[in-house]
Chains A and B, each alone.
Chain A
Amino acid sequence: MDCVDFVELVTEFLEGALPEADERRFIEHLAECSGCENYLDQFRRTIATTGELTPDNISSDARQQLLSAFKDWKRQ
């Protein structure tokens, strides 16, 4: 396996979706190539950082309307 192939297989590797033989070649390459080792590490850190995003929330007007809609529904 060369680096060109390695960088395209990272998600499949992380998902455990690589066929056994490919996974073995992936790991062999990883052990020998510091550039790809960094690439995999950066991929993991990117995923972790994406997971830390705190999304915007809906406006307080919308929130208030939904809370009243729920209250009205309960009264019915």
Chain B
Amino acid sequence: MAGARELPPDEVLVRRLRDGDEETFALVLDTWSGGMLRLAMSFVSTKASAEEAVQDTWLAVIRGIGDFEGRSSLKTWVYRILVRTAKTRGSKESRTVPFASLQPEEEGPTVDAARFRPPGERYPGHWAVGQEPRPWPEDYVLRGEVRELIAEALDELPPRLRAVVTLRDVAGYGSEEVCSMLEISPGNQRVLLHRARAFLRRKLEHYLSGVHDVAVGGDERGLR
């Protein structure tokens, strides 16, 4: 597999793909498929189905590369095909993910209301005593478990939240591209992104506040 090699600019990639350059195809395949797989998981029920969506997407890319007009980046074009393909699959699996409007469970506070001082107390709406976020250790990212924890937490997120945070924070797309890929408004995109990030932060906070009391590796695995 190609490692973290830098991809050539789109014009070069597209020309080589149209010329049937196998090395270039292997390069984009290896560079993008992982992110595509994670994104596809937002729309379908199983990893096998996500993998098939990724395969179908690449087949459509092979057939359609002659029609690519360069109005978006090549990667965005590939991702749009993936979202369409995975959505179709998801609806056949009766797993429809409507994106047009927010769901009831996507409203309400992202931080437990019990952590703030209630009305009537002094400084209502401010962190309650002992409930303020505590600084995290500087070296927390050095622990491999932290990334594993985030990966697991992503899988727990509801599909719409997962799709947005995967595109924005894992794949690094800007908000405009994500709104266009998922056909959502900028406001809804921010709400979904914020909820997803707040959920991931809570998971990290929980892990980092408990890590001193339990064996490294997590409480479940720490127990016999």
Q: B-contacting residues of A (Cβ < 8 Å)?
A: 2-5, 7-8, 10-12, 15, 17, 33-36, 38-39, 41-43, 45-59, 62-63, 65-67, 69-71, 73-74
Contacts and interface: CB of A to CB of B under 8 A. Distances in A.
B34 A56 contact: yes
B34 A62 contact: no
A46 B197 contact: yes
A48 B201 CA distance: 11
Interface residues of B, number: 56
A39 B198 CA distance: 10
Given A35-B127, A50-B150, A62-B55, 6 more contacts: A7-B198, A33-B126, A35-B126, A56-B37, A57-B30, A74-B22
A66 B53 CA distance: 13
Interface of B: 1, 20, 22, 25-26, 29-30, 33-35, 37-38, 51, 54-55, 58-59, 62-63, 109-111, 113, 116, 123-127, 132-136, 140-141, 146-147, 150-151, 154, 165, 169-170, 172, 175, 186, 190, 193-194, 197-198, 200-201, 204-205
Nearest to B127: A35
A12 to B, nearest CB: 6
15 contacts: A2-B123, A8-B110, A11-B193, A12-B190, A49-B146, A50-B197, A55-B37, A55-B170, A57-B30, A63-B29, A65-B55, A67-B22, A67-B26, A73-B20, A74-B22
